[in-house]
Copies of this chain bind each other. A is one copy, B any other.
Amino acid sequence: MKYRFAFKRYNSREESIYGTILTLGNGHIGIRGELELEPTIYGTTIAGVYDYAPYFYREIVNAPRIIGIQAFFNGEPVSPSTQKILKYERELDIENALLKTSLLLEMHSGARVDYESVRIVHGRRKNVVILKFSIRASEDGILTIISPIKTDVANPSYREEILIKHVKVEKLEALEDCIHAEVRTLDGRYRIGIASSLVSHGDVKRSFFKNDEGIGDILTINVKKDRTYHFVKYIVLTSSEDEDAVKELLEIREIGFDKLLKEHSDHWKEIWKIAKIEIEGDEKAEKGLNFSLFHLIQSAPVDDKISLTARGIHGFGYRGHVFWDTDIYALPFFMAVFPQKARNMLKYRYNNLNQARENAKQNGYKGAQFPWESADDGYEATPRLVPLDMLGKDFVEIYTGEEEHHITADVAYAMELYYRFTGDEEFMSKYGVEVIFETARFWASRVKYKEGKGYVIERVIGPDEYHEHVNNSFFTNLMAKYNLLLALKYFRKARENGGEWLKSLERVHVTQEEAEKWLEIAENIYIPRQINGVFEEFDGYFDLEDYRVDPKGLGENRLPRRVKENLKATQLIKQADVIATQYLLKERFDMNSIKKNFDYYILRTTHASSLSMPTYAITAARIGYEDLAYDYFMKCAYIDLHNLYGNTQDGFHLATAGGLWQILFSGFCGIESDGSSIKISPRLPKMWKSVRLKFLFRGALLSLEIKNDEVKVKVLDGGDVMIEVFGKSKLCSPNSCVAFFKEESKEE
């Protein structure tokens, strides 16, 4: 039961929160958790299917709703919003990726109707969705099931009252025993084919409807009281021109539900075999953590055409755009647990390198500048303005697209992180270094030389988005420096190693002179002043009004109106910024500096961004602030289950989920790597007896049991790994178990 999440309350107003929490997906198709028996605006999300939209450039498309059904018993709707609910239970089984529903309704007629269902978004078959359900009534009567493909779906826009229909129907046809719809996005780029078949047994009358809302199967059955009637709705949804939805539907229907379910369960068994994390002594933490990982895993795309988005396949939040959330917050989990997925995400950046080059050029820079928000085509997708009123007279101006330049260094950083951890030389030599060279080139054109200061970077937004148009963001300048030095490193490596490395170098024509310039800039990049060991977030930050908040509070609503309405005039920051720098570039800072900066900034951070707590938590764990680290860990683990940010309905907070894993991995388990070995420094919260987890390091699959005074490591697969724990290094070989003990604790 540990991995089952049950919800027993029906409230139509909260359905959209459960819609996110109970989403099922396979990286390609996402089906939100809204009850199939009720109408909803949410259709289906398909990773990578976008269309033009006002203000947001391109947004992920709300594709036709395929999971919905309508049931009528003796003409009355089998619907909890309408009938008296005697029992209502929905259960998400994350081990098997199943969503089960169990209802008992009392109809107005007095009859009772039992409804049970289970749905899957097939793990191995990216186009397959299945809803199996059964109905039993307490009286004889007529049961009607309508099983539609609802094509009149629309995305809510900048106001929920404004809707954008992104698909046009090209075909609706009722075939012999299935229905078939074809729709196309308005921009013409994506054709979505859907075939669906509602299978049942016994004396069933079959019909269909076809109208402006879509097409649907209709089954009518004379049912006997207290007898259970079973149905399976098979659905295939294709999204490329060369796939045939009807053909695939016929194939899977032939295979049948039981075999398909087994495939699906086997798939998830494989996933959890490596991904599951056990926390002895804290079931609540374990549940929340694995719940978050489940949603993170579900959201990782099946290929490199699109990357992991900010809110997953769970909703329309941030329009399905890709942010640094992916490269910095989510990627480490995938890199360590499903490295192929991490590779896809980085490959997506590489695939869009030409667009990043265009972007740089358009903005007057050289090299490649990645867009702050990226959709299916890799162009800048950040809205410049979003209207605040219906008339569109009042706007909020958004500068992140123009100024939040650190994304470009973040992408380069992620390339290096991935390579160091996985050793994927093929990727790095062919793709990664090209990105690193081109992003360094961007920075070299982005900096300006200022007498007495060195190279400055003006008019940016750092991770802390409260302060716009700032000069010399600590985070940005240091990440730019890192990016330049990284490029220099690979310039040298390419010259030495030759092969693919050199080919990449030659492809982008980096000269010795250019590389030397990178070094010169990196060495002379201006770093904002430091007062009493605290780095200034950007030029002039320390001169702003000081205002402090409780580190355990969350968001802006706790602030007095005066402060809230003029945040930019204060030292309040939205999220980890200097601290994020110190986390990402930790080898450059000593503990004393990290602690000093943490102590300063934690009192000035609102955590209004869901990206804030993970970074602070990891650092808190490192510097011994266990309570705070644990508090943040638990908030991150329950961010969506408890709707802490009030916007869970828009999708799952995937950066937080990735960050949560990092708190455990880097923070509590203290796992680090320099690329050649793994170092483990356990600092588990008190109540945690142990953490058991697995990950891959340079092809070797490690299984670890970590306690504060004892660490056991087993290499399950792959080659030898050098492990350092409690000051001791040991070479761990496949299929042998190595244990480390903390000296002090042994002496006790």
CA of A187 to CA of B186 in the docked complex: distance in angstroms? Answer: 30
Query: Nearest CB to that of A109 among chain B residues?
Result: B205
The answer, among B74, B165, B387, for a CB contact under 8 Å with A54, is B387
CA of A458 to CA of B264 in the docked complex: distance in angstroms? Answer: 74
CA of A207 to CA of B75 in the docked complex: distance in angstroms? Answer: 8
A281 at the interface (CB under 8 A from B): no
Contact B77 A209 (CB under 8 A): yes
Contact A392 B74 (CB under 8 A): no
Residues on the B chain within 8 Å of A162, using CB? 54, 157, 162-165
Contact A39 B165 (CB under 8 A): no
Copies of this chain present in the complex amount to 2
Q: List residues of A (372-411) whose CB comes within 8 Å of B's CBs.
A: 387, 389-392
A52 at the interface (CB under 8 A from B): yes
Contact with B along A463-498 (1 / 0, CB 8 A): 000000000000000000000000000000000000
Query: Which of A212-220, A520-528, A648-656 is near enough to bind chain B?
Result: A212-220
Query: Nearest CB to that of A55 among chain B residues?
Result: B392
Contact A75 B144 (CB under 8 A): yes
Residues on the B chain within 8 Å of A79, using CB? 209, 211
| A391: min CB distance to chain B, Å | 5
CA of A220 to CA of B139 in the docked complex: distance in angstroms? Answer: 15
CA of A491 to CA of B132 in the docked complex: distance in angstroms? Answer: 82
Contact B164 A107 (CB under 8 A): no
Contact B163 A154 (CB under 8 A): yes
Residues on the B chain within 8 Å of A547, using CB? none
Which interface class (under 10, 10 to 19, 20 to 34, 35 or more) fits A?
A: 35 or more
Contact B390 A38 (CB under 8 A): no
Contact A212 B12 (CB under 8 A): yes
Q: List residues of A (166-221) whose CB comes within 8 Å of B's CBs.
A: 166, 168, 186-187, 205-213, 218-220
Contact with B along A531-546 (1 / 0, CB 8 A): 0000000000000000
Contact A107 B390 (CB under 8 A): no
A689 at the interface (CB under 8 A from B): no
The answer, among B51, B75, B161, for a CB contact under 8 Å with A205, is B75
The answer, among B41, B211, B219, for a CB contact under 8 Å with A81, is B211
Known: A142-B142, A162-B162. Is A218-B390 also a contact (CB below 8 A)? no
Query: Nearest CB to that of A74 among chain B residues?
Result: B220
Known: A74-B205, A165-B163, A390-B186. Is A39-B213 also a contact (CB below 8 A)? yes
Residues on the B chain within 8 Å of A206, using CB? 108
CA of A107 to CA of B75 in the docked complex: distance in angstroms? Answer: 18
CA of A79 to CA of B166 in the docked complex: distance in angstroms? Answer: 27
Contact B38 A212 (CB under 8 A): yes
Residues on the B chain within 8 Å of A6, using CB? none
Contact A142 B75 (CB under 8 A): yes
A95 at the interface (CB under 8 A from B): no
A residues lining the B interface (CB < 8 Å): 12, 38-41, 51-55, 57, 72, 74-77, 79, 81-82, 107-109, 142, 144, 154, 157, 160-166, 168, 186-187, 205-213, 218-220, 387, 389-392
Shortest 3 CB-CB contacts between residues of A and residues of B: A75-B220, A75-B144, A52-B390
Known A-B contacts: A41-B212, A162-B165. Give 11 more (CB < 8 A): A38-B211, A51-B390, A53-B390, A74-B205, A76-B207, A77-B209, A82-B207, A82-B210, A161-B164, A164-B390, A186-B390
Q: 16 A-B Cβ contacts within 8 A?
A: A12-B211, A39-B212, A52-B389, A53-B390, A54-B162, A55-B392, A57-B391, A72-B72, A72-B75, A74-B220, A75-B218, A76-B220, A109-B207, A160-B165, A162-B163, A187-B390
